Amino acid sequence: MPQNKQILLVSRPTDEALVSNFKLISSETPALQDGQVLVRHHFLSLDPYMRGRMNDAKSYAAPQALGQTMGGGTVGEVVESKNTQFAIGDKVVGMGGWQEYSVVDADQPGALRKVDTTHIPLSAYLGAVGMPGVTAWYGLVKIIEPKAGETMVVSAATGAVGSAFAALSKARGCRTVGIAGGPAKCKYALEELGFDVCIDYKVHSDATSLSKALKDACPNGIDGYFENVGGMVLDAVLTRMNAFGCIAVCGMIAGYNGAPMPLTYPALILMNRLKVQGFIVSEHMEIWPEALQELGKLVATGRLRARESIAQGIESAPEAFLGLLKGKNFGKQLVKLS
Ligand SMILES: NC(=O)c1ccc[n+]([C@@H]2O[C@H](COP(=O)([O-])OP(=O)(O)OC[C@H]3O[C@@H](n4cnc5c(N)ncnc54)[C@H](OP(=O)(O)O)[C@@H]3O)[C@@H](O)[C@H]2O)c1
């Protein structure tokens, strides 16, 4: 059986996550039992939620256990099979974790899904046609419920979720405004992702300044906001929300390393009669098929061309992950494993 390099979580961060929280080991993959398959991972997905799993804190999901392989989404290829539903060569999506191979009990519901790579690249099943894309779809379609002509705003606009949000929002006839960090990301948002406007939040030192930029970008106010960041960005957006607008709270990455994020004007939620709703995409599995169908069409027809940041080799995963938490990624952050 092949040697398998794996990254374990060996300690928990006190504030900022560090490379020393992780450890690389190598072990032989175990022999397969009946019903199992051996998957060779081509790509590992790195996602902001993994930072929360590193803490031993109350959350919607159990913490990542110490001394165990870090969990995470993977795409790859079946290289050995003792399961009649999976053949060698099948391309599959699963939760293989931060390692080069995984042994999967493929009869477990949801453990492994075969995918078609004829029109959609394998890596896209971890991004635009995977969990991040469905996240954008759920927040926009099921929580914000946009109408054509309304104004939608999304933060972390050029990331895996934000880029899918842009395509979905434009497809519904909405004015779509992104907020992203730096001129290169904003240029890409306009030229490749189809945003009507992209605001570089890094040129604004405070919420008042960002609020002025939002006023110019959203002359009719903001009807729907897809929140990925929190902090100063949320403060600024709140000042421009229309009455009866909606905020889908998807993530608050600015606080994932422990920084406090006080809300400056919470009374605006009352004054503008806003609907503010958080959600976790994995709690809404019933909508995945419909969402994946739309996202798959957008990717296959070139209307969603999401960029990927690809780190090479499992050894690079911790650095790439810490970079994601600081905005060093440009689009969906992946690790290429074979
Ligand atoms: N609720 C759910 O079920 C669910 C599911 C998936 C994802 N999420 C959330 O969705 C958000 C986006 O996820 P993603 O996978 O698409 O990640 P991503 O946008 O590809 O990468 C994270 C981006 O966040 C931005 N960022 C990082 N630190 C920041 C800070 N201090 N202030 C402002 N922006 C910062 C950076 O973009 P800039 O360079 O533009 O700042 C960075 O590139 C995250 O908050 C994530 O936790 C939630």
Q: Is the pLDDT confidence value at 104 over 90?
A: yes
- How far is Cα 222 from Cα 214, in angstroms, rounded to an integer? 9
Average pLDDT over residues 21-26: 98
Q: What is the pLDDT of residues 147-186, one digit of tens each?
A: 999 999 999 999 999 999 999 999 999 999 999 999 999 9
Ligand 1, from 123, 177, 228: best to mutate by most atoms within 8 Å of Cβ? Answer: 228
Average pLDDT over residues 297-308: 95
What is the model's pLDDT at position 61?
87
Query: Does the C-beta of 166 come closer than 6 Å to ligand 1?
Result: no
Residue 194 and residue 142 share a domain: yes
Q: What is the pLDDT of residues 54-64, one digit of tens each?
A: 999 888 889 99
Average pLDDT over residues 110-126: 95
- What is the Å distance from ligand 1's center to 158 Cα? 9
- What is the Å distance from ligand 1's center to 90 Cα? 31
Residue 53 and residue 180 share a domain: no
Average pLDDT over residues 224-233: 98
* Domain assignment present for 68: yes
Q: Is the pLDDT confidence value at 81 over 90?
A: yes
Nearest CA to 42 among 3, 95, 100, 127? 100
- How far is Cα 10 from Cα 120, in angstroms, rounded to an integer? 36
Residue 34 and residue 84 share a domain: yes
Last residue of a domain, one of 282, 297, 328: 282
Average pLDDT over residues 99-122: 96
Find residue 80's DSSP bridge partners: 38
* Domain assignment present for 261: yes
- How far is Cα 102 from Cα 86, in angstroms, rounded to an integer? 14
What is the model's pLDDT at position 3?
96
* Domain assignment present for 292: no
Q: pLDDT > 90: what percent of the chain?
A: 96
What is the model's pLDDT at position 182?
97
CATH number at residue 157: 3.40.50.720
Average pLDDT over residues 209-224: 98
Q: pLDDT > 70: what percent of the chain?
A: 100
Host domain of residue 239: 131-282
Residue 264 and residue 321 share a domain: no
* Domain assignment present for 295: no
Atom of ligand 1 nearest to the CA of 179: 40
Q: How many CB atoms lie within 10 A of CB 84?
A: 10
Last residue of a domain, one of 243, 267, 282: 282
- How far is Cα 327 from Cα 311, in angstroms, rounded to an integer? 14
- What is the Å distance from ligand 1's center to 48 Cα? 6
* Domain assignment present for 246: yes
pLDDT mean across residues, the chain: 97
Atom of ligand 1 nearest to the CA of 255: 31
Last residue of a domain, one of 265, 282, 299: 282
Residue 138 and residue 55 share a domain: no
Query: Does the C-beta of 132 come closer than 6 Å to ligand 1?
Result: yes
H/E stretch holding 246 reads: strand 241-249
For the ranges 28-37, 90-99, 158-167, 256-265, the lowest mean pLDDT is seen at 256-265
Average pLDDT over residues 125-142: 98
CATH number at residue 91: 3.90.180.10
Q: Categorize the per-residue pLDDT at 1 as very low, low, confident or very high, splitting at 50, 70 and 90.
A: confident
What single-letter amino acid sits at 41? H
Residue 232 and residue 251 share a domain: yes
- Strand 222-227 to strand 241-249: parallel, antiparallel, or no bridges (unpaired)? parallel
Q: Categorize the per-residue pLDDT at 297 as very low, low, confident or very high, splitting at 50, 70 and 90.
A: very high
The domain tally of the chain equals: 2
Average pLDDT over residues 8-21: 96
Average pLDDT over residues 203-214: 98
Average pLDDT over residues 285-300: 96
Residue 151 and residue 73 share a domain: no
**Under DSSP, is residue 148 helix (H, G, I), strand (E, B) or coil?**
coil
Residue 257 and residue 142 share a domain: yes
121 CB-contact burial (10 Å; exposed 0-12 / middle 13-18 / buried 19+): middle
- How far is Cα 64 from Cα 12, in angstroms, rounded to an integer? 10
Residue 320 and residue 240 share a domain: no
Residue 137 and residue 118 share a domain: no
Question: What is the chain's percent helix, strand, coil content, to nearest 5?
Answer: 30, 25, 40
* Domain assignment present for 155: yes
What is the model's pLDDT at position 179?
98
What is the model's pLDDT at position 93?
98
What is the model's pLDDT at position 338?
83
Residue 316 and residue 188 share a domain: no
- Strand 222-227 to strand 151-155: parallel, antiparallel, or no bridges (unpaired)? parallel
Query: Does the C-beta of 181 come closer than 6 Å to ligand 1?
Result: yes
Residue 225 and residue 167 share a domain: yes
* Domain assignment present for 158: yes
Nearest CA to 249 among 234, 239, 263, 259? 234
- What is the Å distance from ligand 1's center to 227 Cα? 9
Output 91 or 338, whichever has higher pLDDT.
Answer: 91
Query: Does the C-beta of 232 come closer than 6 Å to ligand 1?
Result: no
- What is the Å distance from ligand 1's center to 333 Cα? 11
Q: Categorize the per-residue pLDDT at 145 as very low, low, confident or very high, splitting at 50, 70 and 90.
A: very high
